[in-house]
Amino acid sequence: MRRMNMEQRLRLQVFICGAVVMALEITGSRVLAPYFGSTIFVWGSLIGVVLTALSTGYYVGGRVADKRPDFEILCLIILTSGVFVLLIPVITPVVFDLTISLGLGERYSPLVASAAILTMPSFLLGTVSPYAIKLAAKNLSDLGNVAGKLYSLSTAGSILGTFVTAFVLIPEMGIVRILQLLGAILVGLSLLGLRGKGQVLLILFLIMSAFLAPPTSMSPNVMMFKLTLNDVIFEKETLYHHMVILEGVDPFHGGKVRTMLLDDHFHSAMDLNDPQRIVYPYNYYFHMGFVLNPDITDVLFIGGGGFSGPKRFLADYPQVYVDVVEIDGEVIEAAKRYFDVKESPRLRIFNEDGRMYLQRSEKKYDLIVLDAYSRTYVPFHLMTLEFFREVSTDLKPNGVIVSNLISSLIGPYSELFKAECNTAMQVFSNIYVFEASGYASRDTKDYETTQNLALVATKGANRYSKEELVARARATRSIRIADFYEYVGTLVESEWIMASHIVLTDDYAPVETLLNPITGERIQREERFVPVRSFRPSDLLILLSLSVVLGVFWIQRLLRQTPTSSEEHSSTAYQGRRMPVRANQDRAADDQSDEAVSLSRP
């Protein structure tokens, strides 16, 4: 088979490097998600960091190419970028835990984290195109044509990298393996210009050291406050989440509890000895609808997770039919496999977006439960005025909605909760807010504490006081939760708490700017995040191996005798794998241009 000439090698390198840049950016969103969610701040940080690094790389690459137009140096740059990509899975847990410890909040933590892991590989990949243009251009007359072709190839590679990563790699591979694949591609690409069998063997060793490492998760090293000895029994990258199924011992109940973790949020839990037991107290408040409307038969859950709420409804209320809308098909399959979820005439499951389901559905419901929110991510289209109007349309005349949200009641971190209350009040007759973290008889009440809150809204005209709601809860026989009236007693009666001037709409819904920060707040919940990271021996081996290999290449190249300026400029043919340099011709053309300008002056 005929070997590629220099122009073909440059085109291949530019194309593949363009593809890797976009693949790295999209994969970066999944790397950040377990720590920082999938907010607009995460995507803004990713795009901004990559563009800044690329812009700097374009500039520096052009400067370096003018001084040292050497194909072997270009290949060393590509090799180095590949090494940095291979290092991402190794350093990410420690780097991100350190970033969180800085207490920069949800807005700026993703920016620092993105810069820490993506700046260097993106910068190095940005130098490739201008460097390749310098090597490919033989004279000034065809410089524009060469630049246009190579930048077109780079953009085409970026387009391909975007589609392949989004539609093939992420759905089919783990994030660690994707990063290892991207790094290996770049390292292999550098072989087009690196000399010697010894270097080839070193590169192969570098790739193997990364791929032979166990493909462990880059998720935060978390453990539950009430659970110890957790084991990961399932882990997968879905189209929407990094999903982990944990199993551990509950010391307070003496049994094993299985938990679903979606990104940075403990979403659902099931007691393996008593599957109907409610593990997280906020799930009790889903039953609040039966206090306001005892005749509920048709229920819709938007957000499924481990289906804790729907399963308890089916067990407690024989007359109830439950529909569940869950956008993530992999979450549905995990719920069926690990959380004893079975479809039946009384339980229908729909794999689609909740709002789209409401728009197409003609069914009317007595109760709609909104459980699609997390501590760091809120799908804004499920909080707007238009959404609540759609919900109201799909409710029966005495219908009730129950919405779970994580917020404080007062203070600077309560704005999202207040905005949602104000928005819901534009549509529904009555609004009730409950502290969804336990009994009303608890000793302390701290409205500034970040906690689970239950927002309950009704279409009915009747407004009930706390005493009346407690009385209705005592009189309701269908609710099988012991002392449920105690939970009703957590009603927040101070209406001033819900005061807000913000109405969330499809046009204006700044939900990310109203969310609680990741750190710095006491989270009054049944689970806790305890980030504890240290390098494993295998991580240290990978770091050492990559550092040694990269150092060998650069030291070898720097120590190699460099041709003098006259020798380099007199070269007109390829020497080994080095590109021809036309510096004298270009300089002569520049001198002639300067002379012409000087003669034209008066």
Is the pLDDT reported for residue 373 higher than 50?
yes
Query: What does the pLDDT read at residue 199?
Result: 60
Does the CA dihedral 460-466-470-471 come out positive or negative?
A: negative
Side chain identity, residue 531: P
Candidate from 31-40, 196-205, 404-413, 438-447 with smallest mean pLDDT: 438-447
Are residues 125 and 154 both part of a single domain?
yes
Query: What does the pLDDT read at residue 592?
Result: 46
Residue 581 domain-assigned?
Answer: no
Residue 90 domain-assigned?
Answer: yes
Please indicate whether residue 391 or residue 553 has the higher confidence score (pLDDT).
Answer: 391
Is the pLDDT reported for residue 419 higher than 80?
yes
Are residues 470 and 542 both part of a single domain?
no
**Closest C-alpha to 419, from 284, 325, 511, 535:** 511
DSSP state at residue 516: P
Q: Do the Cβ atoms of 34 and 219 come closer than 8 Å?
A: yes
Residue 475 domain-assigned?
Answer: yes
Residue 570 domain-assigned?
Answer: no
CATH number reported for the structural domain that contains residue 157 in this entry: 1.20.1250
Model-level pTM? 0.67
Query: What does the pLDDT read at residue 505?
Result: 87
Are residues 136 and 283 both part of a single domain?
no
**Closest C-alpha to 374, from 489, 533, 243, 487:** 243
Is the pLDDT reported for residue 495 higher than 80?
no
Interval 211-240 mean pLDDT: 58
Residue 210 domain-assigned?
Answer: yes
Edge to edge, the sheet with strand 228-237 lists 228-237, 242-250, 255-262, 265-271
Residue 97 domain-assigned?
Answer: yes
CATH number reported for the structural domain that contains residue 339 in this entry: 3.40.50.150
Are residues 206 and 302 both part of a single domain?
no
Are residues 375 and 480 both part of a single domain?
yes
Query: What does the pLDDT read at residue 141?
Result: 76
Is the pLDDT reported for residue 577 higher than 50?
no
Query: What does the pLDDT read at residue 540?
Result: 54
Are residues 432 and 548 both part of a single domain?
no
Are residues 417 and 547 both part of a single domain?
no
Interval 227-237 mean pLDDT: 70
Residue 337 belongs to domain spanning = 263-524
Residue 155 domain-assigned?
Answer: yes
Q: Of the candidates 467, 500, 524, which is a domain's last residue? A: 524
**Structure tokens given for 171:** 């759905």
Please indicate whether residue 226 or residue 296 has the higher confidence score (pLDDT).
Answer: 296
Please indicate whether residue 283 or residue 591 has the higher confidence score (pLDDT).
Answer: 283
Q: How many domains does the chain divide into?
A: 2
Please indicate whether residue 583 or residue 207 has the higher confidence score (pLDDT).
Answer: 207
Are residues 520 and 539 both part of a single domain?
no
Per-residue pLDDT tens digits for 156-190: 999 999 999 988 888 778 788 899 899 989 988 98
* β-pair type (255-262, 265-271): antiparallel
Interval 324-338 mean pLDDT: 93
Are residues 471 and 358 both part of a single domain?
yes
Q: Which residues of 329-361 are buried (b: 16+ CB within 10 A; e: fewer)?
A: ebbbebbeebbebeeeeebebbbebbbebbeeb
Q: Of the candidates 502, 524, 546, which is a domain's last residue? A: 524
Give residue 419's Cα distance to chain centre.
25
Are residues 543 and 493 both part of a single domain?
no
Is the pLDDT reported for residue 319 higher than 90?
yes
Structure-token match 């081996």, residue found: 541
337 φψ region: left (φ > 0), alpha (ψ -120 to 50), beta (else): alpha
Query: What does the pLDDT read at residue 74?
Result: 92
**Structure tokens given for 77:** 């740059």
- Phi, psi (5° rounding) for residue 111? -65, -45
Query: At CA 505, angle to CA 283 and CA 520, rounded to 5?
Result: 55
Are residues 435 and 554 both part of a single domain?
no
Residue 149 domain-assigned?
Answer: yes
Does the CA dihedral 526-530-536-540 come out positive or negative?
A: positive
Are residues 22 and 150 both part of a single domain?
yes
